[in-house]
């Protein structure tokens, strides 16, 4: 095979750099990089012997992954585009969105059409196809609330399939696709949005931001604007400094442990969950453990937001992961809490 082969539907490259394919700007290489522009090419590509014997690493915008090494197999990037209205009436709309669509662009598109629901999820980096994998969420809203079904290539059966929301087993930053990465390749996501859905304004800071904007009666576009302002102020821009957003999940703990921690640390932010567990602020834990702004070479924790692992220039993935491990150990030693990384670690 040539080092690079072009076609209308896809491009195949050997020994390809992934530095521009991950938002942490880590230099890593793929033995084979397949960039797919047309969804119809998937059955042909996935019928190749190499795909049958080895699961590809599927990469969207690379905003939720940390490469600690090169990838010895196939990296599959779905650069497909397209938003299709399946049906709509005065109250709601059903949409089919290609996996390669940029998430934030889709959010803005939906708001421009007058459909509510995704405004709290504005400015989250990544692609539509990646959104269900970790059930992206922000400001009190999770994407699972709007997903009707996920279309996938099922490597076990060798065919396209459609999984309804229940089959996707969505949880907090979790889904079926996290646990069966090698089986499913997401090709499109089906959404159901409403014109009259009640706005979610009760998350900390959102109401205050709307007030600061002079908004007295918010609509969905104003909520999205407030969310974008909050995110831009709190989180470093990956276009300016390599990062993957919040690197650690907010830990979910049993209520007695949360009560004990709150007794010892009254300022610890927490949020009771419907299942009787309590969600704790990972950012507060990291900051109190003395790790906000921590830096080792070009690997660092952001001074802007305690949860964000950043690449100040040429840090390797291994160096970034070593620093993340140091932060986890500091939190474990101070609070007895084990932080889990949010991005996928390769």
Q: Domain total for the chain?
A: 3
Q: Is residue 219 part of a domain?
A: no
> Which of the following is catalytic: 21, 173, 190, 328?
173
317 and 264 in one domain? Answer: yes
| Local structure of residue 145 (DSSP, 8 states) | G
With residue 17 as reference, give the H or E element that holds it: strand 10-17
252 and 283 in one domain? Answer: yes
190 and 88 in one domain? Answer: yes
96 and 70 in one domain? Answer: no
- Say whether 246 is catalytic: yes
Q: Helix 103-112 and helix 220-234: axis angle, to 10°?
A: 150
> Which of the following is catalytic: 110, 246, 281, 316?
246
160 and 126 in one domain? Answer: yes
322 and 279 in one domain? Answer: yes
- Say whether 94 is catalytic: no
Mean pLDDT of the chain: 92
Q: Is residue 50 part of a domain?
A: yes
pLDDT in tens, 200-214: 988 878 889 989 998
- Say whether 173 is catalytic: yes
289 and 339 in one domain? Answer: yes
Q: Is residue 18 part of a domain?
A: yes
Last residue of a domain, one of 78, 100, 135: 78
Last residue of a domain, one of 78, 106, 124: 78
CA distances from 59 to 4, 66, 202 (A): 19, 11, 34
Q: Is residue 237 part of a domain?
A: no
Mean pLDDT of 311-321: 95
The pTM assigned to this predicted structure is: 0.84
CB-based burial label for 287 (10 Å; 0-12, 13-18, 19+): middle
> Which of the following is catalytic: 101, 119, 151, 342?
342
pLDDT in tens, 2-23: 466 666 798 999 999 999 999 9
Q: Which domain holds residue 250?
A: 242-345
Last residue of a domain, one of 60, 78, 96: 78
| Local structure of residue 195 (DSSP, 8 states) | S
């Amino acid at each position: 095979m040539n080092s690079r082969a072009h076609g209308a539907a896809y491009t195949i490259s050997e020994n390809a750099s992934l530095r521009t394919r991950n938002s942490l700007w880590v230099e890593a290489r793929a033995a084979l990089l397949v960039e797919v522009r047309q969804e119809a090419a998937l059955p042909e590509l996935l019928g190749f012997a190499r795909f049958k014997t080895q699961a590809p690493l599927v990469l969207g915008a690379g905003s939720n992954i940390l490469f600690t090494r090169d990838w010895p197999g196939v990296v599959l990037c779905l650069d497909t585009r397209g938003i299709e209205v399946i049906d709509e009436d005065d109250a709601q709309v059903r949409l089919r969105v290609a996996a390669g669509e940029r998430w934030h662009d889709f959010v803005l598109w939906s708001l421009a059409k007058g459909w509510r629901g995704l405004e709290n999820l504005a400015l989250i980096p990544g692609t539509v196809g990646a959104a269900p994998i970790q059930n992206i969420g922000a400001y009190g809203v999770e994407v699972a609330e709007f997903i009707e079904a996920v279309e996938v290539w099922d490597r076990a059966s060798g065919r396209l399939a459609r999984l309804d929301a229940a089959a996707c087993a969505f949880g907090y930053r979790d889904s079926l696709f996290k646990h069966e990465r090698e089986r499913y390749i997401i090709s499109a996501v089906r959404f159901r949005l409403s014109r009259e859905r009640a706005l979610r304004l009760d998350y900390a800071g959102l109401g205050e931001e709307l007030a600061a904007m002079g908004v007295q009666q918010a609509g969905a576009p104003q909520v999205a604007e407030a969310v974008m302002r909050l995110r831009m102020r709190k989180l470093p821009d990956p276009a300016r400094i390599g990062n993957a957003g919040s690197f650690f999940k907010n830990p979910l703990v049993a209520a007695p442990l949360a009560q004990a921690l709150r007794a010892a640390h009254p300022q610890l932010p927490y949020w009771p969950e419907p299942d009787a567990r309590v969600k704790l602020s990972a950012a507060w834990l990291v900051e109190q453990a003395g790790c906000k702004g921590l830096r080792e070479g070009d690997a660092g924790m952001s001074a802007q937001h305690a949860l964000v692992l950043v690449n100040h220039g040429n840090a390797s993935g291994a160096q970034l992961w070593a620093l993340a491990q140091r932060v986890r150990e500091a939190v474990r030693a101070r609070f007895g809490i084990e932080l889990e990384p949010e991005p996928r670690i390769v």
